[in-house]
Chains A and B, each alone.
Chain A
Amino acid sequence: MASAELMDYDKALELFEPVLGFEVHVELNTKTKMFCGCANEFGSGANTNTCPTCLGLPGGLPQVNKKAIESSIRLGLALGCEIAEHSRFARKNYFYPDTAKNFQTSQYDDPICHDGSITIELESGRLVTVEIERAHMEDDAGKLTHMGGATGRIQGADYSLVDYNRGGVPLVEIVTQMIEGAEHDAPEIGKTYVAAIREIAKGLGVSNARMEEGNVRCDANVSLRPRGSNVLGTRTETKNVNSLRSVERAVRYEIQRQAAVLHAGGTITQETRHWHEDTGRTSAGRPKSDADDYRYFPEPDLLPMAPSREWVEELRLTLPEPPAARRKRLQAAWGFVNLEFQDVVNSDLLDAVEATVAAGASAQAARKWWTGEIARLANVAGVAADTLVTPVQLAALIELVEAGTLTDRLARQVLEGVIAGEGTPTQVVDSRGLAVVSDDGPLVAAIDAALLGQPDVLAKIRDGKVQAAGAVIGAVMKAMRGQADAARVRELVLERAATIE
């Protein structure tokens, strides 16, 4: 990156203190949309999940989805928020073709959840408490596809298509207070905070929480304050940063970019910025100011809400163990070192490993398979690892390995069979004839042949140089086409070397 554009990160931190803020949109996985009966479904034909209300047709009126309110309250409770006794929707007025009504039904001065906090743990072990200002409900916009341009962006496009299937899908927008004191950890705080929100939403079951499908979207606010000053710098808002790694990169980039601008005597423009995954840069978007006037007013088509305290307490009882506590508990129970555990968490495989252990597998074996072979295959196929096999299937496979029925190499072939839909691991073993040969007869013959074929090696083994056995083991495994247990082969090699004529 050109140094004129970006200041060295450490130098930027020496001169400036970064101040952060995040707005995370969590798409709820309710069956129907926020304000109408249309299906909340990803991947349907364009504009098929629509009605007069979510298409903004004249005469359409909203009806609140109670399940969405329930999910929002549970999310708020998990974020340690107060649940407002009185809450109402408000119209946020602005014209844009993806917004069917040309206003978003959102919340303004009476959000459903407010004043919460979550504590996140960085890799260094540093604990950071992020204060949540509010979590409010709103409806999502439709999806625009810009046609004819080279980049798929609106600039240069000939025309745009709009799909309102997503229009009206329930969102919860979680807004943090200003995060000060982040220092060098600023990018990691961004990443870890968004990961925590995603994990909480997923744990509650209120969202599918797949960032790649846009279920969790992050806007990152960054400003820099010169060291020794107590005046806040001008902030930028980088929109739609949609992977954890991108959150980290975008925050780092903005710190370096703003530092370079400020150091050169320039000023930061208050604006939204677009994150470019490919180049790892942000570019200027729409100028934004605090005077942006959305002409909010209370939504007259909906009644104010007053969630009863009893209901809120009932919902509080449904909250699962907080993710951070759960992680601590699982790591202790499984006996993983930090690196092993982080590997599982970062690969989003905590649930999968837990379920596999519950199905009878050892924690280490479950970890090894999920983060190893299965993750590799998932990566090749471009899908999530936990969509390839079920924890029960994997536990059965691990059992076959531990019983000595399969070698690791054979087990990988069985796994492929399971993924290909050939049945349970046992069925694949049977149908592909992949079981380890347990009758020692053919194995002994192969070992004898190998030992006699390499008399110098035989001599070394007999002299007590046990490590020389490796060469023979290799030859035996080759002769057996891998269908032998390496440990058993080694045992037999040493045995035969002592007795062979």
Chain B
Amino acid sequence: MTYLTKLSAAALSDLLISREVSAVEATRAHLEHITAVDTDLHAFLHVAGDAALATAAQIDARRAAGEELNPLAGVPIAIKDVLATQDMPTTAGSKILEGWIPPYDATVVARLRAAGLVPLGKTNMDEFAMGSSTEHSAYGITRNPWDRDRIPGGSGGGSAAAVASFQAPLALGSDTGGSIRQPAAVTGSVGVKPTYGGVSRYGAIALASSLDQVGPVSRTVYDAALLHDVIGGHDPLDSTSLTERWPSMAAAAAAGLQDDALRGVRVGVIKELSGDGFQAGVTQRFNETLALLVAAGAEITEVSAPNFEYAVAAYYLILPAEASSNLARFDSVRFGIRVNPESGSLTSEHVMSATREAGFGAEVKRRIILGTYALSAGYYDAYYGSAQKVRTLIQRDFAAAFSQVDVLVSPSAPTTAFKFGEKLADPMAMYINDVTTIPANLAGVPGMSIPIGLAPEDGLPVGLQIMAPAKADARLYTVGAAIEQLLEASWGHTMLSQAPALTPTEMFASEEGAV
């Protein structure tokens, strides 16, 4: 049954609909693969095997009864641990939430369940989504399936690694400054950050409210579109949720597979997101992709976004400011762990303080301190106020660019996956890694990362980022699917089929000793 794990969600869906394969079989195949490979990769923080099989059995029963189901019904999915699930622990990668089971489902999770997808478990992430490597998880690292000594990206390294290693065909992520797109890029998978307000944030543990967006993670553009259609759309519980009626993203992706889908498409290359600081192999694959686009009839223009230069600086003021307030609720009073101070009186202040001291990791504390400072009286205008102005300027850069082109492209990340520990000691090096993805969050526009090949120097995946104007998410799917098809035709295979085979973990090997 291992072939079931190699299928795209759409292909699996066909087999489920034709009842050649049952949801239970599909689920079991994925659970077995998780058991085989995830002890080593550690994409999952929690696997809900029994619940998944029970859900799958229900779907099979409903399908047998002739019920009309969503195309993704019975397809397994992994859920980033930042999303509230009422039947699974939800920790956001933080010790402070160890063992917490929310009394409710995030809206996107409720929509998954309503569509009959089968949640397999919760995936690892940087604590509270703060990081680009998943090394900041309180529960240990996740390995990149392409090279187990390298990071799977972050913060959604778990979701990306799960999908790239065939442990799930689909996953949910959240993207505040690249947490869906950068892991997709470094693991050779597909990730989409929808337009801000396109997908409900209700039940997504907030990092930076004005930047966070939940989105799909998958191995194909079409699969991401199918998932986007399930989770997207207005939610009255999220006041920033847009009230538009959205077109079908799956239909948009399908349109991209038609002949000549790229003919006449105006593609803007962002001057500021290239050159210095970009790995040679990344630039090379990027340029080759542009050449393919030209050959397919797209018009390439270089556009300038002069204020992108300030994006990282502005982002690292806005994000910590909002995060410092969003994370204030972790105080031991209503949920999560409680730690009593070793000395002194047990006042609520002391208990809160001791809990936060013990429950938050170093990166979280760093950002809370940064944000608290940036919002302080006397500094607000200079920091938070100025950062908001930069945000407006970046939005204007996007508006100017989109007046000339249909989509903007850049490498998804400046480099391929780096090694564990490489950037841990230098937060600035880690932060600058998000230079390509941050502008979309600041402007609220949608962005997608698709794999475009392996960097010659290290054989690791390179991603292409495609961005569209706000609310034009469908355009990403059309263009993304078209490019994906072109590339796969030029390679003669999908990119993930080239990933190294994962050896099943030898259970208990370490306990047996090296005898």
Q: Is A25 an interface residue (CB 8 A)?
A: no
Q: Point out the residues of chain B lying under 8 angstroms from A471, CB to CB.
A: none
Q: Is A365 an interface residue (CB 8 A)?
A: no
A63's contact among B104, B239, B321, by CB below 8 Å, is which? B239
Q: CB-CB contacts of B346-359 with A at 8 A, as 1s and 0s?
A: 00110010000000
Q: Is B322 an interface residue (CB 8 A)?
A: yes
Given contacts A59-B106, A62-B239, A301-B240, contact A293 B334 (CB under 8 A): no
Given contacts A58-B102, A58-B205, contact A297 B328 (CB under 8 A): no
* 8 cross-chain CB contacts under 8 A: A58-B84, A58-B92, A58-B335, A61-B238, A297-B325, A297-B375, A301-B209, A303-B240
A57's contact among B103, B204, B210, B321, by CB below 8 Å, is which? B103
Report the minimal beta-carbon distance from A59 to chain B, rounded to whole angstroms. Answer: 4
The CA-CA distance from A103 to B375 in the complex, in Å, is 13
Interface residues of B in 157-211 (CB under 8 A from A): 201-206, 208-210
Interface residues of B in 300-337 (CB under 8 A from A): 321-322, 324-325, 328-331, 333-335
Q: Is A295 an interface residue (CB 8 A)?
A: yes
Q: CB-CB contacts of B332-344 with A at 8 A, as 1s and 0s?
A: 0111000000000
Q: Is B236 an interface residue (CB 8 A)?
A: yes
B102 and A93 within 8 A (CB):
no
The CA-CA distance from A460 to B62 in the complex, in Å, is 105
The CA-CA distance from A97 to B355 in the complex, in Å, is 14
Q: Point out the residues of chain B lying under 8 angstroms from A61, CB to CB.
A: 201-202, 206, 237-239
B348 and A59 within 8 A (CB):
no
The CA-CA distance from A151 to B16 in the complex, in Å, is 67
A91 and B325 within 8 A (CB):
yes
B333's contact among A63, A97, A296, by CB below 8 Å, is which? A97
Q: Is A102 an interface residue (CB 8 A)?
A: yes
Nearest residue, chain A, Cβ from B329: A56
Nearest residue, chain A, Cβ from B348: A97
Report the minimal beta-carbon distance from B435 to chain A, rounded to whole angstroms. Answer: 23
A52 and B348 within 8 A (CB):
no
Q: Is B398 an interface residue (CB 8 A)?
A: no
Q: Is A441 an interface residue (CB 8 A)?
A: no
Count A-B pairs with CB separation below 8 Å: 107
Report the minimal beta-carbon distance from A35 to chain B, rounded to whole angstroms. Answer: 9
Q: Is B380 an interface residue (CB 8 A)?
A: yes
Report the minimal beta-carbon distance from A370 to chain B, rounded to whole angstroms. Answer: 46
Interface pairs A-B: 6 shortest CB-CB: A102-B328, A295-B375, A300-B209, A300-B210, A59-B203, A58-B205
Q: CB-CB contacts of B366-391 with A at 8 A, as 1s and 0s?
A: 00000010011100100010000000
B239 and A52 within 8 A (CB):
no
Q: Is B437 an interface residue (CB 8 A)?
A: no
A63 and B209 within 8 A (CB):
no
The CA-CA distance from A293 to B377 in the complex, in Å, is 6
Q: Is A311 an interface residue (CB 8 A)?
A: no
A52's contact among B104, B328, B333, by CB below 8 Å, is which? B104
A295 and B348 within 8 A (CB):
no
B348 and A58 within 8 A (CB):
no
Nearest residue, chain A, Cβ from B209: A300
If A91-B325, A303-B239 are given as contacts, then 15 extra A-B residue pairs at C-beta distance below 8 Å, sorted by A number, are A52-B103, A57-B84, A58-B97, A58-B100, A58-B205, A58-B335, A59-B83, A59-B202, A61-B239, A97-B331, A101-B329, A103-B325, A295-B325, A300-B322, A301-B239
Chain A interface (Cβ < 8 Å from any Cβ of B): 51-52, 55-64, 91, 93, 95-97, 100-103, 160, 162, 291, 293, 295-297, 300-303
Q: Point out the residues of chain B lying under 8 angstroms from A95, CB to CB.
A: 328, 331, 349, 352
Q: Point out the residues of chain B lying under 8 angstroms from A103, CB to CB.
A: 325, 328
B329's contact among A58, A291, A295, by CB below 8 Å, is which? A58
Nearest residue, chain B, Cβ from A62: B239
The CA-CA distance from A96 to B97 in the complex, in Å, is 20
A55 and B377 within 8 A (CB):
no
Q: Point out the residues of chain A lying under 8 angstroms from B92, CB to CB.
A: 58
B204 and A59 within 8 A (CB):
yes
Q: Point out the residues of chain A lying under 8 angstroms from B209, CB to CB.
A: 300-301
Given contacts A57-B335, A61-B201, A300-B209, contact A100 B329 (CB under 8 A): yes
The CA-CA distance from A62 to B325 in the complex, in Å, is 14
Nearest residue, chain B, Cβ from A89: B239
Nearest residue, chain A, Cβ from B104: A52
**Dominant SS among interface residues on chain B:** loop
Report the minimal beta-carbon distance from A214 to chain B, rounded to whole angstroms. Answer: 22
The CA-CA distance from A62 to B236 in the complex, in Å, is 10
Q: Point out the residues of chain B lying under 8 angstroms from A55, CB to CB.
A: 334
Nearest residue, chain B, Cβ from A301: B209
Nearest residue, chain B, Cβ from A101: B329
Nearest residue, chain B, Cβ from A51: B104
Report the minimal beta-carbon distance from B208 to chain A, rounded to whole angstroms. Answer: 8
B102's contact among A52, A160, A302, by CB below 8 Å, is which? A52
Report the minimal beta-carbon distance from A366 to chain B, rounded to whole angstroms. Answer: 48
A57 and B376 within 8 A (CB):
no
Report the minimal beta-carbon distance from B389 to chain A, rounded to whole angstroms. Answer: 14
Count B interface residues, CB 8 Å. Answer: 44
Report the minimal beta-carbon distance from A4 to chain B, rounded to whole angstroms. Answer: 34
Given contacts A61-B201, A63-B237, A102-B329, contact A297 B103 (CB under 8 A): no
Q: Point out the residues of chain A lying under 8 angstroms from B202, CB to CB.
A: 59-61
Report the minimal beta-carbon distance from A137 to chain B, rounded to whole angstroms. Answer: 14
A100 and B334 within 8 A (CB):
yes
Report the minimal beta-carbon distance from A1 to chain B, rounded to whole angstroms. Answer: 33
B333 and A162 within 8 A (CB):
yes
Report the minimal beta-carbon distance from B244 to chain A, rounded to whole angstroms. Answer: 15
B372 and A302 within 8 A (CB):
no
Q: Is B55 an interface residue (CB 8 A)?
A: no
Q: Is B90 an interface residue (CB 8 A)?
A: yes
A295 and B376 within 8 A (CB):
yes
Nearest residue, chain A, Cβ from B94: A58
Q: Point out the residues of chain B lying under 8 angstroms from A52, CB to CB.
A: 84, 102-104, 203
Report the minimal beta-carbon distance from B328 to chain A, rounded to whole angstroms. Answer: 4
Q: Point out the residues of chain A lying under 8 angstroms from B328, CB to CB.
A: 93, 95, 101-103
Q: Point out the residues of chain B lying under 8 angstroms from A291, CB to CB.
A: 377
Given contacts A95-B331, A95-B352, A300-B210, contact A59 B377 (CB under 8 A): no
Nearest residue, chain A, Cβ from B205: A58
The CA-CA distance from A296 to B380 in the complex, in Å, is 9
Q: CB-CB contacts of B196-231 with A at 8 A, as 1s and 0s?
A: 000001111110111000000000000000000000
The CA-CA distance from A55 to B384 in the complex, in Å, is 28
Q: CB-CB contacts of B76-112 with A at 8 A, as 1s and 0s?
A: 0000000110000010100001001011101000000
Report the minimal beta-carbon distance from B94 to chain A, rounded to whole angstroms. Answer: 10
Q: Point out the residues of chain B lying under 8 angstroms from A64, CB to CB.
A: 239
A59 and B102 within 8 A (CB):
yes
The CA-CA distance from A303 to B196 in the complex, in Å, is 13
Report the minimal beta-carbon distance from A43 to chain B, rounded to whole angstroms. Answer: 22
Q: Which has the most chain A C-beta neighbours within 10 Å: B102, B203, B333?
A: B333
Nearest residue, chain B, Cβ from A36: B237
Q: Point out the residues of chain A lying under 8 angstroms from B206, CB to CB.
A: 58-59, 61, 301
The CA-CA distance from A59 to B92 in the complex, in Å, is 11
Report the minimal beta-carbon distance from B390 to chain A, rounded to whole angstroms. Answer: 16
B331 and A295 within 8 A (CB):
no
Q: Point out the residues of chain B lying under 8 angstroms from A303, CB to CB.
A: 239-240
A297 and B321 within 8 A (CB):
yes
The CA-CA distance from A51 to B205 in the complex, in Å, is 15
Q: Point out the residues of chain B lying under 8 angstroms from A63, CB to CB.
A: 236-237, 239
Q: Point out the residues of chain B lying under 8 angstroms from A62, CB to CB.
A: 239
B90 and A58 within 8 A (CB):
yes
Q: Point out the residues of chain A lying under 8 angstroms from B334, CB to CB.
A: 55-57, 100
Report the minimal beta-carbon distance from A133 to chain B, rounded to whole angstroms. Answer: 20
Report the minimal beta-carbon distance from B380 to chain A, rounded to whole angstroms. Answer: 7
Nearest residue, chain B, Cβ from A92: B325
The CA-CA distance from A59 to B334 in the complex, in Å, is 14
The CA-CA distance from A55 to B92 in the complex, in Å, is 18
B376's contact among A59, A160, A162, A293, by CB below 8 Å, is which? A293
Nearest residue, chain B, Cβ from A144: B348
Q: CB-CB contacts of B134-146 with A at 8 A, as 1s and 0s?
A: 0000000000000
Q: Point out the residues of chain B lying under 8 angstroms from A93, CB to CB.
A: 324-325, 328, 375
